[in-house]
Structure 1
Amino acid sequence: MKQTLPFCLKRNCFGILTLGCALLSLTATAQSAAPDTLQTGYGAKPAAEITESIRQLPSDQLNQGLVTSLEQLLQGQIAGLRVMPSGGAPGAGATMQLRLGAAVFGNSAPLLVLDGVPLANSSASERISAFAFINPDDIASVALLKDAAATAIYGSRAANGVLLVTTKQGVPDKKIKLTYTTTAGISVLRKKADVLSADEFRSLVRKEFPDQVGLLGNENTDWQDVIYRKAFSHDQNVSVSGTVGSTVPYRVSFGHLNQKGILKSTQHRRNSLAVSVNPSLLQEHLKLNVSVRKVDQKVDFAAPNAITAALLFDPTQPVYQENNYGNYFTYLDTEGKAIESVSSNPLSLLEQRRDVDETSTLFGQAHLQYKFHFFPALSLHLRYAFQNQDSEYGNYQPMNMISSGSYSGRGEEHVGAIDQDLKESFIVLDQPLESLQSKLRLTAGASMKKLTTYSENRLLNTLNGEQMEGNHIYYKSRIESVNLYSQADFIFKNRYSINASIVNEQDSHIVKQKSITGALGAAWDIAKEPVLEANKTISSLKLYANYSNFNKTGFYKNLQFMQIQQPDHSVVKWNAGVAWGVAEDRLYGDINYFNTNVSNFALATPEANKIAYSSSFMEGGAIRSSGVEGSLRYEAVRQADLKWSFGVNVSYAQSEVVKLPYGSVYYPYDAGYLGSNVLSLGESPAAFYLLKQLYDAAGKPLEREYEPNYEMRTSYHILGKASPDFTFGLSSDLLYKKWSAGFLIRGATGQDVFNNSDAYTSSLFRANQYYKLSNIPSSYFENAFEYPQTQSSHFLEKASFARLEFAQIGYDCGKLWHNRAGLKVTATVQNAFVLTKYSGQDPEVTNGFDDWQYPQPATYSLGIKLEI
């Protein structure tokens, strides 16, 4: 199913446009775009004309170091955008959430628009991020549209904002430029999980289980040292840019990433190729942007239970043992056969089992813009874009691995594919109205998208490679959507702005659909008032406000083509704010109040032991969220040889359930075996639903004794919440002659984490069971539980934190090789420390539940950038 790079025969229109680009370039001239323009999906627009405070972040202002994903670039950079890593595994993505989102858990990520093309937030692989195919080195800038009027033209997809990602392109009238960057780094385990040492474990067994002392071994094995390693990674990127015949700018780049994980056997390899040409032709009346990206990834994963097995495996046993099971220590019966009901050797899970995902992505677009000769204010845009992604995943366990159970070896294979085609056309009228000292901009168009997804799962007997009968699942779907959109911008006297949008969406899998998004925004550029134009202190001052209403209803079709009614789902948003700058923007910032009301909201809960979510709508329910966010940047020193600036962004947000049709609704995490969440009127939708632990006079928890909840006639209470009150980022940049330095500290306060791992294992019951002894967390000595307390509030902890995202120092060596080359060297540390009172390995976990996830490592790297 892999698709190779020569694809023009399949994509005829794409090949025609590419050929047309080459022919027209013979007599064309080119001009660069204005630096203050924002490349949205519907043409370039001056950032000052958008009715919200927005700044475009160039790549050199984003996170630095061994950065391997788009999400990693953005952590802590933008007020209101929370980027939560799903762990530290190579190739793992992150959950992005703008403010508190429009869903309960699940997907609240902004719509990602790559060079004007909206991307589907889905991947052919269930294990790799949907955006992992984007090489961070190819990114030129990032901008986040948060508020109603700016985002509404994208329709319902933009309910959680729009992330505009612009990639690097060739610059007109420039000589050939060669850029080579390399980053090499070492990643290490930042903090070990706090479990008993071998000596502590022996003491516990002798005291509590004297009749089981004979099961103890003679070794002192730290299983965390066995499974973790110092991991070397490197990222190589080379690009060539220039202009063909002085008329056609181009850029070609190749990247190779080899990232090893700190957990043995885990690794992410990515090869990426990107080609783009972007000429401006016919005296700037015709512009073309043609680009192609081909990315191949291979990710080696660990067995899902490898980390848990290492933390619970008996530390008195050896790593190796002579046997028929790969010579890994194994619990054997009297006949020398493996006892299959006990845990596998942790190192065996990593070295004997293979979990590999190979994903190939082909992404391309051709965007044509023609400015009419007889009416230059009017332009026609045509775009064709596609994304084809194939994924093949397999996990295989050999016959001599005891976790294979009764099978003679075991395997699982998954094949997935996504094929997305986008065709759209729109017109833009950008007309100055000089007599009114005004400007009118009108946009209207239509887009058609086809999204085909395919997946197939099958279990194999790895002894002979044959498929096991009755274990085959096949799924294929095709969704077509049509969007009709329009937007109007009116700027009066260069300081009063009004923006309005309306979008009508139709999807093939929804019948009798009514989906309308409308938005209105206004801004007042006070600094351009005549009374302030001569003021040298105030460089900018703008007030703005936005409102939008998204409403969608209809009937979903299921696999049997039956109609399932979707409730009238709506999202109403409004915001107001002010942005300012003083002393030629040496000090600038903004502050913004936002309010979001969601009715019949989406409820997405994780399926047991899976990454996937099952989604439904809470009919009759409503959630309201509001808050304040702001940012501030101050250039404290501005001299020829010394520049120093620092910045801060802060977001405060609260969310509550304001309407429920049937009273409180509780829904379990991990199929109800551990802690749970609850939806209750007046409470946060991210609240926990737990048994409220009682304690003795000395502060020790009392076994199975809980405070009754008379109001709800149960012992369960609504306690804490997984979402933070505050998120923040604090950064600083220093430039002294050829030296540079910078750092970013990000964090969150007010959230709680339920320590699932300790709740499930911190008890005597877990230490002695199933013909073996198991290690337990050190927290046992604090609680002394005899049995697991999987829903006790004792394990709900405050999880506020401050993390050093990165700190970097660099030296610019200047011009070399007869002034033909420039060289810069940087040294970076990432995630060196986390300040928190949380007792677990990391306070930043998915959905507020800590299940001993893959730890985020500390990384030390050296980077070199050479430009010729």
Structure 2
Amino acid sequence: MRTIKLLGLLLMLLPISIFAQSTVSGTVVDDIGMPVPGVNIAVKNTTKGTTTDFDGNYSIVLESGETLAFSYVGYRTQEVTFDGNTTTIDISLVEDAQSLNEVVVVGYGDQTVKSISGSVASVTEKDFNKGNIVTSESLIQGRVPGLSVTKGGGPGSGSEIRIRGGSSLFANNSPLIVLDGLPLDNNQADGTRSVLSSINPNDIESFSVLKDASAAAIYGIRGSNGVIIINTKKGRGKLSVNLDVQQNVTTIDNTIDVLNAGQFRNLVRENFPDRLAELGNANTNWQDEIYRNAKSSDINLSARGALFGEIPARLSLNRSDQQGLRRTSKFDRTTASLSLNPRLFEDHLKIGLNANYSNEDNRFADGVEGSAIAFDPTQPVRSHGSPYGGFFEFQDNDSSAASNVPRNPVAQLLQTNNVSNADRFFGNLNLDYKFHFLPELRLVTNLGYDRTESGGSFSRPKESALGVNAEQGEFIGNESRYSNKRTNTSADAYLVYENKLGDFGIKATAGYSYQKFENEQFTTNELLDPNAQEPRTTIADDVVLIGYFGRINLDYKEKYFINGSLRRDGVSKFAPENRFEYFPSVSGAWQISEEDFLKDSSVISNLKVRAGWGKLGQQDVPSTSDYLRRYQTGLSNQQYRFGSPITPFQPLYTNPNISWEILTEINLGVDFAFFNDRFSGSVDVFQRTADDLLSPAPVADGANFSNQGFQNIGQFDTKGIEVNLDYNILRQDDLNWNVNYNFTAIDREITRLAFGQDILAGGIAGGTGNNIQVLREGTWPNSFFTYAQLYDQAGQPIEGAYADINGDGIVNEEDRYISGNGQADVLMGFQSNLTYKNFDFNFNLRASFGNEIYNNVNSSRAQLGNLDLVSPNNLPTQVLETGFARTPDVILSDFYLEDASFLRMDNITLGYTLRDFDRSSTSLRFWMGLQNAFVITNYSGVDPELGIGGIDNTIYPRGRTFLLGVNYNF
């Protein structure tokens, strides 16, 4: 009995707190649901703590009320208070977007923001543009300084993408696009809208834009125009499903100002009264007739989770139906994608499998704006008894379709069936193996495949006026078919060694790259024309690119960084002796904010200076087969016997020395942030020299089989400054407001052409063989080359009167001068993101300054003489102001050169989100939006941004889009 009492007393003396203690365990995973070893777990205000094991598991003894803090490099620190009841606490780490340890994907690997020394911009999903995003490049339009994206007007149409203005005179100026490690071919398949049109924007997680040579040199021969790396969304361990549905209507925003039927009749009566009887009784607005309100829809369904509870996976489906503003134009896309990301052998082997399928269904609408502008507004769309399917057409006395007159644009749209269908399969397999015997060393292999099989047909019925066979005088219509197979395969293998040696860090990469492009085309030509060529299949020469590359990243105390790379590239396009070239780069950075005198600053939270130099190549050049001896069918007096047949042929220009275009660039930059990253930004200045540019040059008589051809002889320089500013104006629990502003200023100058000679460019409508632009040493590429218009005392232009620029008393070609350029020298972007409780409001603006546009619509059509053609043509209303008759060289006047500066509101969206109405991870967002809301500009035409190379000669307009959408997450 005494023993029992003694034991009871001892138990009473034990600290009561023992009974309040519990063992808590759990697992820590990353944002894709994979275990994270080595996570630091501390009990706040105590000395207790632990770390996660290799499988992300942990166990710790806690008292009720104690708080656990989970911290890991590159992720936000998370705190959880133990309530005394729960015995399991699982944590999913969230990346810290503001951290200098955020990882950015670069060529063949990744780097932390802190270690980057080149000019690299990263745009993630949270910063993407909102709205009717059909092609992926629209997600970052206006978001990155130095990057311009000019979107076409057609449904699903591609964009002109330029990084720092491009680097070539006559070769490709588009950047290299790398999708999940697979470099894409910039040449699209026949019957498709663009290279990116078959990629579902909803599958994209981030973009990395490598702008300067030191960042892009790892891509060697394809990096001279910059690189855009696209990363798609991957699987996660926790199941989540997203459904996104949007509907939109696009209306025509602006059209060409032309005479209405009454004005047209009056002008004909005043100038050519004898032709008044040819006019009709209708009042037709032909531009209204060719356009429609375009209805479109987009549906995305995606699911993330873990197959069999272990393999992170993501599946997505998309259906996009896009009508175009032009009647009959449409773009329909169906996509499916699957991503698997298992990790094997105790996390030593990471596997990434991405498989994508896309079907693109198109109906293309002919560019009938020219006919709609010129067609007689007094004529009806349809005419009873017309042999042309009931449509009105101008006819000769024998009732056949008249020649040299505009065709009925509505009939052209409705009677033309230009359709295509394209199947595309693309994806990659990435294997990342960390050696067991040396964990610091990894072997990475990436296998990529991209194949498009497309086909289409073009037909018109025999009732179409465009289908008349003039030679036989009978209606035969049109019919032709084509198909195209394009294949892009790639294989990369490289070793990565990464280690910390005391205060020194090293990351070294060395590897091999192989890529092959294949292209097979088939066309029937015109099936209804007995004189047409026979159907034929064309198999282009395979283009093979191989490269050997190495890169080393060194740092000391994570404050001083040196990065260098070297790539040796070869391509089959050039002669064997010219196929290989070396492309080096070197860059460095100093993280000043890590120095002792700034490390604890409450004002400066980040300050880094960067400098880089690199050399890049351009292999996507014109006439690369010029290094081979080539022949074509010649005249009857140019004959050669190949065996028994005698074949007429002639040799073509050949240049065995054709080789790379080379770009060399210097970049200086500074990154900064103040007040705990509340205000941050970067500034970059750069100078780049594009050398050995292919340009047409004269050839001495008798030295070749042509008097001119492409040679590596041109050069131009580009200088610029880029600024990016980000400001979190408000950061509160219920109210957050972030704005971003970017600014780019560029100056370009041609410094060398063959023999210093001008090269005319920029062909225009009106007359024969006229050019409005020139390449000239000391000026911007493709500068406008015009006469200086003279004006009367009232300020009205005098037709055919131009300034004698050189003062020789004669006005001729020698008096044309450089009057502007079609490329902006200043670009700006502004984005605003505001959230208040469950509401969100976003908009983004873009501005362009310093560029001109040549109004070829007015210059070739706003002349009274066009009323006296075979059929009286309608005119732009500008003719009422100028009264121009028809002087041949009027189209070369700077009167038609207009300021194309603009401010455009691209997107406005307003949304409301219902949260936690079912379970904590569920949300339902309703939103509405307006795309292409307004444009402020002095340009008198349809759109100051859509002129091709700065020349506006009727375009596919962009409309204003009204959007409604709903997004459901669970």
- Which of 517, 526, 538 pairs up with 1:474? 538
CA–CA distance in structure 1, aligned partners of residues 599 and 309 of structure 2: 40
Residue 489 of structure 1 and its aligned partner are, at CA, apart by 0.5
Counterpart of 1:612 in structure 2 is none
Superposed CA deviations along residues 283-302 of structure 1, whole A, max 9, x for unmatched, are 22100001111101011111
Query: In the alignment, residue 474 of structure 1 is paired with which amino acid?
Result: T
Query: In the alignment, residue 884 of structure 2 is paired with which amino acid?
Result: F
Counterpart of 2:637 in structure 1 is none
**Aligned counterparts, 1:711-730, within 5 A:** 714-730=814-830
CA–CA distance in structure 2, aligned partners of residues 208 and 260 of structure 1: 42
2:931 aligned with 1:835: no
Query: In the alignment, residue 103 of structure 1 is paired with which amino acid?
Result: S
SS in structure 1 at match of 2:540: strand
CA–CA distance in structure 2, aligned partners of residues 167 and 467 of structure 1: 50
Superposed CA deviations along residues 639-696 of structure 1, whole A, max 9, x for unmatched, are 1111112111000000001223322322232376444221212111131122222222
- Further displaced range: 286-295 or 474-483: 474-483
- Further displaced range: 547-556 or 651-660: 547-556
Counterpart of 1:93 in structure 2 is 158
2:891 aligned with 1:768: no
- Which of 448, 455, 469 pairs up with 2:521? 455
- Which of 806, 817, 833 pairs up with 2:907? 806
- Further displaced range: 706-715 or 440-449: 706-715
CA–CA distance in structure 2, aligned partners of residues 776 and 618 of structure 1: 43
Superposed CA deviations along residues 341-361 of structure 1, whole A, max 9, x for unmatched, are 322111101101111122221
CA–CA distance in structure 2, aligned partners of residues 616 and 159 of structure 1: 23
Query: In the alignment, residue 904 of structure 2 is paired with which amino acid?
Result: R
Counterpart of 1:654 in structure 2 is 747
* Contact 1:102/1:602 (<8 A) preserved: no
SS in structure 1 at match of 2:541: strand
**Aligned counterparts, 1:210-359, within 5 A:** 210-304=273-367, 306-322=368-384, 323-359=386-422
CA–CA distance in structure 1, aligned partners of residues 178 and 723 of structure 2: 24
2:684 aligned with 1:585: no
SS in structure 2 at match of 1:486: strand
Superposed CA deviations along residues 715-773 of structure 1, whole A, max 9, x for unmatched, are 32121011111000011111100001011010210001111111111101222211x22
CA–CA distance in structure 2, aligned partners of residues 692 and 457 of structure 1: 47
Query: In the alignment, residue 783 of structure 1 is paired with which amino acid?
Result: T
TM-score of the superposed pair, with normalisation by structure 1: 0.91
- Which of 955, 966, 969 pairs up with 1:853? 955
**Aligned counterparts, 1:559-708, within 5 A:** 560=630, 564-566=656-658, 569-603=661-695, 619-670=712-763, 673-708=769-804
Counterpart of 2:567 in structure 1 is 503
Query: In the alignment, residue 186 of structure 1 is paired with which amino acid?
Result: V
Counterpart of 2:59 in structure 1 is none
Counterpart of 1:360 in structure 2 is 423
2:583 aligned with 1:520: no
* Contact 1:101/1:108 (<8 A) preserved: yes
- Which of 491, 508, 511 pairs up with 1:423? 491
Counterpart of 2:850 in structure 1 is 750
CA 1:187 to 1:105, structure 2 compared with 1: closer, same or farther past 3 Å?
Answer: farther
**Aligned counterparts, 1:171-210, within 5 A:** 171=236, 173-174=237-238, 176-210=239-273
CA–CA distance in structure 1, aligned partners of residues 465 and 732 of structure 2: 68
* Contact 1:666/1:689 (<8 A) preserved: no
- Which of 209, 216, 219 pairs up with 1:154? 219
CA–CA distance in structure 2, aligned partners of residues 568 and 45 of structure 1: 30
CA 1:226 to 1:713, structure 2 compared with 1: closer, same or farther past 3 Å?
Answer: closer
Query: In the alignment, residue 492 of structure 1 is paired with which amino acid?
Result: Y
RMSD over aligned CA atoms reads: 2.4
CA 1:759 to 1:479, structure 2 compared with 1: closer, same or farther past 3 Å?
Answer: same
* Contact 2:119/2:215 (<8 A) preserved: no
CA–CA distance in structure 2, aligned partners of residues 316 and 785 of structure 1: 22
CA–CA distance in structure 1, aligned partners of residues 919 and 108 of structure 2: 44
Counterpart of 1:736 in structure 2 is 836
* Contact 2:121/2:210 (<8 A) preserved: no
Residue 471 of structure 1 and its aligned partner are, at CA, apart by 7.3
CA 1:450 to 1:29, structure 2 compared with 1: closer, same or farther past 3 Å?
Answer: farther
2:870 aligned with 1:791: no
Counterpart of 1:780 in structure 2 is 879
CA–CA distance in structure 2, aligned partners of residues 96 and 589 of structure 1: 23
CA 1:352 to 1:154, structure 2 compared with 1: closer, same or farther past 3 Å?
Answer: same
Query: In the alignment, residue 455 of structure 1 is paired with which amino acid?
Result: Q
SS in structure 1 at match of 2:282: coil
CA–CA distance in structure 2, aligned partners of residues 413 and 467 of structure 1: 16
CA–CA distance in structure 1, aligned partners of residues 695 and 154 of structure 2: 27
Superposed CA deviations along residues 591-626 of structure 1, whole A, max 9, x for unmatched, are 110100011224599xxxxxxxxx985633210110
CA 1:386 to 1:830, structure 2 compared with 1: closer, same or farther past 3 Å?
Answer: same
* Contact 2:466/2:477 (<8 A) preserved: no
Superposed CA deviations along residues 87-142 of structure 1, whole A, max 9, x for unmatched, are 31112101111112111265322211111221121111265211112111111111
Query: In the alignment, residue 591 of structure 1 is paired with which amino acid?
Result: V
SS in structure 2 at match of 1:786: coil
Counterpart of 1:543 in structure 2 is 609
SS in structure 1 at match of 2:525: strand
SS in structure 1 at match of 2:532: strand
Superposed CA deviations along residues 801-845 of structure 1, whole A, max 9, x for unmatched, are 011110111101123345563100111101011100011000012
CA–CA distance in structure 2, aligned partners of residues 595 and 866 of structure 1: 47
Query: In the alignment, residue 485 of structure 1 is paired with which amino acid?
Result: F
SS in structure 1 at match of 2:712: coil
CA–CA distance in structure 2, aligned partners of residues 819 and 622 of structure 1: 60
Counterpart of 2:36 in structure 1 is none
CA 1:457 to 1:668, structure 2 compared with 1: closer, same or farther past 3 Å?
Answer: farther
Which runs of 5 or more residues in structure 1 are unaligned?
Answer: 1-27, 606-614
* Contact 2:762/2:782 (<8 A) preserved: no
The number of aligned residues is 823
CA 1:59 to 1:560, structure 2 compared with 1: closer, same or farther past 3 Å?
Answer: same
CA–CA distance in structure 2, aligned partners of residues 93 and 192 of structure 1: 22
* Contact 1:53/1:590 (<8 A) preserved: no
TM-score of the superposed pair, with normalisation by structure 2: 0.82
Counterpart of 1:112 in structure 2 is 177
CA–CA distance in structure 2, aligned partners of residues 604 and 375 of structure 1: 55
CA 1:224 to 1:420, structure 2 compared with 1: closer, same or farther past 3 Å?
Answer: same
2:554 aligned with 1:490: yes
CA–CA distance in structure 2, aligned partners of residues 569 and 454 of structure 1: 27
CA–CA distance in structure 1, aligned partners of residues 921 and 439 of structure 2: 41
SS in structure 2 at match of 1:104: coil
* Contact 2:454/2:484 (<8 A) preserved: yes
* Contact 1:674/1:760 (<8 A) preserved: no
* Contact 1:259/1:269 (<8 A) preserved: yes
* Contact 1:190/1:858 (<8 A) preserved: yes
* Contact 2:359/2:422 (<8 A) preserved: yes
Counterpart of 1:80 in structure 2 is 146
**Aligned counterparts, 1:386-397, within 5 A:** 386-397=449-460
CA 1:243 to 1:48, structure 2 compared with 1: closer, same or farther past 3 Å?
Answer: same
CA 1:318 to 1:551, structure 2 compared with 1: closer, same or farther past 3 Å?
Answer: closer
* Contact 2:222/2:617 (<8 A) preserved: no
Query: In the alignment, residue 421 of structure 1 is paired with which amino acid?
Result: T
- Which of 136, 139, 152 pairs up with 2:201? 136
CA–CA distance in structure 1, aligned partners of residues 710 and 735 of structure 2: 56
* Contact 1:524/1:542 (<8 A) preserved: yes
Counterpart of 1:18 in structure 2 is none
CA 1:559 to 1:856, structure 2 compared with 1: closer, same or farther past 3 Å?
Answer: farther
